Amino acid sequence: MKQLKLYNTQQNHFEVERKFKFDGSKVILLEKNNGKKLFDNVTFISEKSFTDVYYDNHSENYPLTTNDIWLRNRDNKWECKTPVNLTASMDSYHELDDTNVIKEFLDKKLDVNKRRSENIHYNNEEFKDFLFKKYNLTPICTITTQRRNYLLNNKFTMVLDTADFGHSVGEIELIVESQNKVQDAEKRIAFFMKEHDWFFETDGIVMGKLLAYISRFNKKQWECMNNSNMLKKKLFPETLDNVVTK
Residues 22/152, Cβ–Cβ less than 8 Å = no
Residue 116, pLDDT score = 56
Of residues 14, 12, 5, the one with CA closest to residue 182: 14
Residue 13, pLDDT score = 82
Cα-only R_g, the chain: 18
147-187 pLDDT, tens digit per residue, is 999 999 999 999 999 999 999 999 999 999 888 898 899 99
Q: What angle do CA 75, 153, 174 make, to 5 degrees?
A: 50
Domain around 189? 4-244
Half-sphere exposure of 2 (CA within 13 A, CB side): 2
Q: What is the mean pLDDT of the chain?
A: 90
Residue 89, pLDDT score = 79
**Spans of the chain, pLDDT less than 50:** 1-10
Of residues 166, 142, 134, the one with CA closest to residue 72: 142
21-47 pLDDT, tens digit per residue, is 999 999 999 999 999 999 999 999 999
**CATH code for the domain of 110:** 2.40.320.10
Is residue 173 classed exposed, middle or buried when 0-12, 13-18 and 19+ CB atoms within 10 A define those classes?
A: buried
Of residues 197, 170, 227, the one with CA closest to residue 17: 170
Beta bridge partners of 142: 53
How many domains does one find in the chain? 1
Residue 7, pLDDT score = 29
Of residues 149, 199, 147, 158, the one with CA closest to residue 44: 149
